[in-house]
Amino acid sequence: MGDRSGRLRVSNFSISLDGYGAGPDQSLEDPLGVGGEDLHTWMFATRAGRAMSGMEGGEEGLDNDVVAATFAGIGATIMGRNMFGPVRGAWPDEDWTGWWGENPPYHHPVFVLTHHPRPPVRMVGGTTFHFVTEGIEAALEQAMNAADGADVCLAGGAGTIQQYLRAGLVDELHIAIAPVLLGGGQRLFADGLGRLDGYACTDLVSSGTVVHCRITRTG
Amino acid sequence: MGDRSGRLRVSNFSISLDGYGAGPDQSLEDPLGVGGEDLHTWMFATRAGRAMSGMEGGEEGLDNDVVAATFAGIGATIMGRNMFGPVRGAWPDEDWTGWWGENPPYHHPVFVLTHHPRPPVRMVGGTTFHFVTEGIEAALEQAMNAADGADVCLAGGAGTIQQYLRAGLVDELHIAIAPVLLGGGQRLFADGLGRLDGYACTDLVSSGTVVHCRITRTG
């Protein structure tokens, strides 16, 4: 990452009180697992979160400020293939273009980690999905180049964030702890992830609705 | 629990951001596991937490208010054997009387869950350790009788709390989420504990030092 000037940031990644970033039994009907949508209720109550999805209205205040700050200064996004869609294995066709309709809420290049090559998909509104088969460092390099000095958002899911954390490539991690119990699913801080030496919690505030925790690389 | 008038409360149970109630590699030198003492730093910074251990001074404010409220209206405590001490299997002798010296910070009857009978141990300052071999419901009944209408504190560790949660016997659970990463150890919300149907998070506040989360039986 010789010319890396932006930071790699995880933002608004919501986990339950019991530590799950997605609920159990993920499926087409429940892409976030059973109960998983409850993790994000707080975000879609905010003005910035609603605007992201083309909706009007919403609450102001701390949660809104946090969400709004998320989108400031981001020039590209990285996500795992399971966040992009439910298709597994080789792409059977070009039909699947993400969960977000024809105008996804990114409006910049999005780099999808996959083992299976696929041509880029240009969407309405500035989002282009690029499929990266060369691994997490290649995706980061391509995203940093595309962001051209701005930050890169590491969107998820949990497994993808874990890979970047293990490699020490994440600069800042904002987690929202939502007041729900999912009872199972995919953990962000899974057993075996380790102590994350070189990272520290630098901010811990509650809006009453959700807890915002900021973990920053210090070492 | 026919005559049960008090509530069973978990108070000040601290977990790390990654969900551990004790660190990895518990030992005589690290009874809370490596890094586990960091979970409780916030409590021993408060006036009430320091007073509990016979120390003067300490901070006032939200954390102190929470800790002080913990001790109000408690008439008995339940704990697992591993919280009482490191001895495993049959008691070799009567030498081990807990981690807390001759005057433990309980000052009321404490019921220790164990598979191995042992006569009660009367300490200085009003604490008596009773050893219960008939299971969690028997311990709860004995503790409620001893508390005589006051509440019973379910002290820990995580495994003991899980047993009472699975049985639906906990009335209120106050968790403190500390801004540390332990990277391993014993989870409070372990995989397999389930959704805790009938419980809900009723309060979620941060002092800036630690997050206080209150989970109450609603169903």
pLDDT, tens digit (0-9, with 9 covering 90-100), for B8-35: 999 999 999 999 999 999 888 888 999 9
Q: Where are the beta strands (DSSP E) in chain B?
A: 8-16, 20-22, 74-80, 109-113, 121-122, 128-132, 151-156, 172-178, 186-187, 199-206, 211-217
**Are residues B52 and B12 in contact, defined by beta-carbon separation less than 8 angstroms?**
no
Percent of chain B with pLDDT over 90: 88
Question: What span, in angstroms and rounded, lies between the C-alpha atoms of B60 and B4?
Answer: 34
Question: What span, in angstroms and rounded, lies between the C-alpha atoms of A67 and A52?
Answer: 10
Confidence of residue A4 (pLDDT cuts 50, 70, 90): low
Which of A3-17, A99-113, A118-132 has the least mean pLDDT? A3-17
- A195 to B182: CB separation less than 8 angstroms, yes or no: yes
Of B19, B195, B211, the CB nearest to A182: B195
Q: Which of B161, B189, B202, B207 is the best substitution to test chain A (most A C-beta atoms within 10 A)?
A: B189
- A184 to B194: CB separation less than 8 angstroms, yes or no: yes
Confidence of residue A1 (pLDDT cuts 50, 70, 90): very low
Angle among Cα B205, B208, B210 to the nearest 5 degrees reads 65
A215: closest chain B residue by CA: B179
B21: closest chain A residue by CA: A18
Q: A126: helix, coil or strand?
A: helix
Tell me the mean pLDDT in the region A5-16.
95
Tell me the mean pLDDT in the region B67-94.
93
Of A35, A191, A205, the CB nearest to B184: A191
Q: What pLDDT shows up at residue A3? A: 52
- B181 to A199: CB separation less than 8 angstroms, yes or no: yes
Does B3 have pLDDT greater than 60? no
Q: What pLDDT shows up at residue B28? A: 85
A209 vs B contacts (CB less than 8 Å): 204
- A181 to B187: CB separation less than 8 angstroms, yes or no: no
Q: How confident is the prediction for chain A on average, in pLDDT?
A: 94
Q: Which residues of A touch B (CB under 8 A)?
A: 17-19, 35, 175, 177, 179-184, 187, 189, 191-196, 199-201, 204-206, 208-211, 213, 215
Q: Which of B14, B16, B17, B218 is the best substitution to test chain A (most A C-beta atoms within 10 A)?
A: B17
Does B2 have pLDDT greater than 50? no
Confidence of residue B66 (pLDDT cuts 50, 70, 90): very high
Q: Give the residues across from B75 on adjacent strands.
A: none
Confidence of residue B106 (pLDDT cuts 50, 70, 90): very high
The total of other beta-carbon atoms located within 10 Å of residue B49's CB is 25
Which range of A29-33, A70-74, B18-22, B51-55 scores highest in mean pLDDT? It is B18-22
Tell me the mean pLDDT in the region B83-91.
92
Q: What pLDDT shows up at residue A29? A: 87
Q: What is the pLDDT of residues A135-180, one digit of tens each?
A: 999 999 999 999 999 999 999 999 999 999 999 999 999 999 999 9
Percent of chain B with pLDDT over 70: 98
A204 vs B contacts (CB less than 8 Å): 177, 179, 206, 208-211
Count of helix runs (H) and strand runs (E) in chain B: 6, 11
Confidence of residue B84 (pLDDT cuts 50, 70, 90): very high
- B204 to A210: CB separation less than 8 angstroms, yes or no: yes
Q: How confident is the prediction for chain B on average, in pLDDT?
A: 94
In angstroms, the first-to-last Cα distance of chain B is 18
Question: What span, in angstroms and rounded, lies between the C-alpha atoms of A155 and A125?
Answer: 19
A206 vs B contacts (CB less than 8 Å): 204-206, 211
**Are residues B34 and B24 in contact, defined by beta-carbon separation less than 8 angstroms?**
yes
Q: What pLDDT shows up at residue A23? A: 94
Does B152 have pLDDT greater than 70? yes
Q: Identify which has the larger pLDDT, B188 or B194.
A: B188
- A209 to B204: CB separation less than 8 angstroms, yes or no: yes
Tell me the mean pLDDT in the region B170-175.
96
Tell me the mean pLDDT in the region B90-96.
94
Of A17, A183, A192, the CB nearest to B194: A183
Question: What span, in angstroms and rounded, lies between the C-alpha atoms of B149 and A27?
Answer: 48
Does B122 have pLDDT greater than 60? yes
Tell me the ipTM for this assembly. 0.91
- B177 to A175: CB separation less than 8 angstroms, yes or no: no
Question: What span, in angstroms and rounded, lies between the C-alpha atoms of A203 and B179?
Answer: 8
Q: What pLDDT shows up at residue A53? A: 82
B182: closest chain A residue by CA: A195
